[in-house]
Amino acid sequence: MIKGLLEGLYDVSAEAKGYVRARQGDVAVTEERGGEVELRLEQGALLSGTLLGPDS
Give the highest mean pLDDT range of 8-17, 28-37, 46-55.
8-17
pTM (2 decimals)? 0.62
25, 11 contact by CB (below 8 A): yes
Structural domain including 27 reads: 8-41
Any domain includes 55: no
**Over the stretch 24-42, which tens digit does the pLDDT of each residue have?**
999 888 888 788 888 999 9
- Quick check: is 49 in a domain? no
Q: What is the pLDDT of residue 56?
A: 66
- Any domain includes 47: no
Residue 17 forms part of a structural domain? yes
Decide which of 23 and 32 is more confident. 23
* Number of domains into which the chain is organized: 1
| Rounded-to-integer distance, Cα 28 and Cα 46, Å | 34
Q: Which residues pair with 19 in a beta bridge?
A: 43
Question: Closest by alpha carbon to 4, among 29, 28, 23?
Answer: 29
